[in-house]
Amino acid sequence: MILDEVNAVGERLHRFPGGLRLRHHKQVACQQPVERPPLPAVLVVPMRQQAGPEATPVVSVGDPVLKGQLIGGDPSGLGARVHAPSSGRVTAVEQRRIGHPTGQTGTCVVIKTDGLDEWPPTEPVPDWREACAVDLQAQIQAAGVVGLGGAVFPTDRKLDGGRAAGIHTVIINGAECEPWIACDEMLMREHPRRVVTGTLVLMRAAGAEHGVIAIEDQMGAVGAALERAAVELGDDRVRVVRIPTIYPEGGERQLIQTLTGLEVPAGGLPQDLGILCQNVATADAARAAVIDGQPLLERNVTVTGNGVARPRVLRALLGTPVGELVTAAGGYTPGAARLVIGGPMMGYALHDDSEPVVKATNCVLVLDQAEIRPTQPEMPCIRCGECARVCPARLMPQDLQFFIRSGQLDSATDIGLEACIECGCCDAVCPSHIPLAEWFRHGKAESRHQARERAFADRARERHQAREARLEQAKAEKAARMARRKLKLVSDDERKRQVARAIERAKAAREKQAGAPPSTPRDGEPDE
């Protein structure tokens, strides 16, 4: 029954619980075609731009680099490789801010560009339609492709796990639910053929038979452009589905529920339903890796908000300082008041505009004072239940907040803290102005910190117990050796006495044969 429903992905649409209808401002950034900003003089490339461990720098200060050259390796296989976004020379390998909500620092490779933007020879897959899935996955891994919808999970690992689980449908997520972000819409509008081709590449790499590109029903001509591209490519396995614009319709779990009517099991993955979900830009990056042999070096970034003079979508190199993107979009307006990475619902305020664009950067939002919701004093929860009504994950935000606030993190985890997608719907409707999403982010971070501490303590205890066991074993072995040595000494003394008695007997025998009176045995010796 479940499999039949999943096989009909997108044929009938369903509702997910909760959600909000938001006023969209995407058209503000869609008035101009996508452009490339000027090549930055300096690129700051963080080694951590994805889920998983930080990449290991494989270049040193003074090294020349070409565009697309590997500068960060992934020896663990759990992260993603990092490549030089342009040609130039490495001027530093040092700790800098890495464009993270916490403002944390990480290892960055700083490249002074030479203006040539010179590529080395690329190595695309010769015939991707005939290549095996493992080879396509290896090419995508070598290109450092990660999910560009925000989660930045390494795409090759997702493909590997999905293929093992038996994927039948690849869903390409083109539903940008944040009200200001339009980078994926512009990609689909200007390059529909690339998006459809990327979908086919991912389908082959995942071993899937069906492909669905899901877009918002407000995206106008985008759907027709994608459908026309699918016809031109002569592959009817890819369908375009328009879904209702109800925030957060672009969440992975909410999108799957909209298209199938099924919920991804708690603690499970879409692959448990035979589905692989990838972002539109990820599909394009996979296409570039396989067909063009190009690693992930750039992405569309929406630069928008009333604090920007000419809002638009820019094709930015990774490592470009955010301030240079704003300059390329006409600079700040006099009323610019807040700089946000991401959208107003799930984004985070940036410390300053010198931080670099990373693989997860989909939007630079500059708000003016009129767009910033005035800060209201936080009031006690009145248990109105509005937060639960709009929660797309069926959680009880007021209870979660109570448990986190009182330090009962285990209880918060028991009622689904990790299932929260931090969409901010509860924040938007709370009449008491409680920053619920912030509490949930704090609770998750603290819960993970405590889990790491417990794991560290467990490992320390295991090491102590193992050491004690080794000491006991060494003590027992030492005692055994001493016992064997003592026994050996006793045996040696006895053997010496036996030899001495044999010598005496032989001597007595010789004297008897010679006629001499036998010698008198010594005291304590047998008289033979």
Task: Give residues with Cβ within 8 angstroms of 56, minimum separation 6.
Answer: 47, 72, 73, 74, 75
Please give the pLDDT value at position 268: 87
Backbone angles phi, psi at 376, to 5 degrees: -110, 145
Q: How far apart are CA 194 and CA 233, in angstroms?
A: 10
Task: Give residues with Cβ within 8 angstroms of 148, minimum separation 6.
Answer: 279, 281, 282, 285, 299, 359, 360, 362
In order of 37, 43, 152, 340, 364, the CA distances from 303 in angstroms are 11, 19, 20, 10, 5
Choose among 369, 309, 304: nearest CA to 340.
304
Please give the pLDDT value at position 1: 42
Please answer whether residues 199 and 165 qualify as being in contact, where contact means their C-beta atoms are separated by less than 8 angstroms.
Answer: no
In this predicted structure, the answer to whether residue 526 has a pLDDT above a threshold of 50 is no
The stretch 279-284 carries a mean pLDDT of: 97
Q: Does domain 374-494 sit in CATH 1.10.1060? A: yes
324-381 pLDDT tens trace:
999 999 999 999 999 999 998 998 888 789 999 999 999 999 999 888 877 788 999 9
In this predicted structure, the answer to whether residue 521 has a pLDDT above a threshold of 70 is no
The stretch 237-258 carries a mean pLDDT of: 95
What does the DSSP 8-state code read for residue 32? S
The stretch 474-486 carries a mean pLDDT of: 91
The stretch 475-499 carries a mean pLDDT of: 86
Please give the pLDDT value at position 4: 57
63-88 pLDDT tens trace:
999 999 999 999 888 899 999 999 99
Instruction: Decide which of 404 and 490 is more confident.
Output: 404
Instruction: Tell me: cis bond preceding 121? Omega within 30 of 0 counts.
Output: no
In this predicted structure, the answer to whether residue 144 has a pLDDT above a threshold of 70 is yes
Please give the pLDDT value at position 36: 96
Please give the pLDDT value at position 5: 47
Beta strands 210-216 and 238-243: pairing type?
parallel
Choose among 66, 71, 77: nearest CA to 92.
71
The stretch 236-240 carries a mean pLDDT of: 93
Question: Looking at 66-127, which runs of residues are DSSP E strands?
Answer: 70-73, 82-83, 88-97, 105-113
User: What b-and-e string marks burial along 485-520, b requiring 16 or more CB atoms within 10 Å of the CB?
Assistant: eeeeeeeeeeeeeeeeeeebeeebeeeeeeeeeeee
Residue list, annotated binding site: 381, 384, 387, 391, 420, 423, 426, 430
Domain boundaries defined on the chain = 7-116+124-336, 374-494
In this predicted structure, the answer to whether residue 7 has a pLDDT above a threshold of 60 is no
Q: How far apart are CA 302 and CA 74, in angstroms?
A: 29
Residue list, annotated binding site for [4Fe-4S] cluster: 381, 384, 387, 391, 420, 423, 426, 430
User: What number of residues does the chain have?
Assistant: 528
In this predicted structure, the answer to whether residue 459 has a pLDDT above a threshold of 60 is yes
Q: What's the first-to-final CA gap in the chain, in angstroms?
A: 100
Min mean pLDDT across 130-134, 146-150, 369-373, 399-403 is at: 369-373
Please answer whether residues 349 and 369 qualify as being in contact, where contact means their C-beta atoms are separated by less than 8 angstroms.
Answer: no
CATH of 7-116+124-336, one of 3.30.500.10, 3.30.70.20, 3.40.50.2000, 3.40.50.11540: 3.40.50.11540
Q: How far apart are CA 488 and CA 311, in angstroms?
A: 92
What does the DSSP 8-state code read for residue 35? B
Tokens of 50: 């994805």
In this predicted structure, the answer to whether residue 449 has a pLDDT above a threshold of 80 is yes
Please give the pLDDT value at position 288: 97
Min mean pLDDT across 64-73, 235-244, 449-458 is at: 449-458
Task: Give residues with Cβ within 8 angstroms of 295, minimum separation 6.
Answer: 68, 70, 81, 83, 142, 143, 144, 145, 289
Residue 278, helix vs strand vs coil: strand
In this predicted structure, the answer to whether residue 520 has a pLDDT above a threshold of 70 is no
Q: How many CB atoms lie within 10 A of CB 37?
A: 19
Q: How far apart are CA 189 and CA 273, in angstroms?
A: 30
In this predicted structure, the answer to whether residue 432 has a pLDDT above a threshold of 90 is yes
Q: How far apart are CA 354 and CA 358, in angstroms?
A: 12
Long-range contacts, 51-54 (Cβ 8 Å, 24+): 51/79, 51/146, 51/151, 51/152, 51/153, 51/154, 52/76, 52/78, 52/79, 52/80, 52/153, 52/154, 53/78, 53/79, 54/79, 54/106, 54/107
Instruction: Decide which of 310 and 486 is more confident.
Output: 310
Please give the pLDDT value at position 527: 44
Please answer whether residues 158 and 208 qualify as being in contact, where contact means their C-beta atoms are separated by less than 8 angstroms.
Answer: no
User: What b-and-e string marks burial along 348-358, b requiring 16 or more CB atoms within 10 Å of the CB?
Assistant: eebeebebbbb
When the pLDDT of each residue in the chain is averaged and rounded to a whole number, the result is: 91
DSSP labels for 364-427? EEEEEGGGSPPP----------HHHHH-TT---HHHHHHHHHTT-HHHHHHTTGGG-----HHH
pTM (2 d.p.): 0.84
The number of angstroms, rounded, from the C-alpha of 219 to the middle of its chain's C-alpha atoms is 29
In this predicted structure, the answer to whether residue 102 has a pLDDT above a threshold of 70 is no
Please give the pLDDT value at position 129: 93
In order of 225, 477, 480, 481, the CA distances from 467 in angstroms are 66, 15, 20, 21
Q: How many CB atoms lie within 10 A of CB 165?
A: 16
Residue 494's pLDDT band, with cuts at 50, 70 and 90, is: confident
DSSP labels for 448-465? HHHHHHHHHHHHHHHHHH
In this predicted structure, the answer to whether residue 164 has a pLDDT above a threshold of 90 is no
Return the ∠ at Cα 247 (arms to 275 and 6), rounded to 5°. Answer: 20
Q: How far apart are CA 131 and CA 2, in angstroms?
A: 31
In this predicted structure, the answer to whether residue 187 has a pLDDT above a threshold of 60 is yes
The stretch 281-298 carries a mean pLDDT of: 97
Please answer whether residues 73 and 55 qualify as being in contact, where contact means their C-beta atoms are separated by less than 8 angstroms.
Answer: yes
Please give the pLDDT value at position 369: 85
Q: How many CB atoms lie within 10 A of CB 404?
A: 23
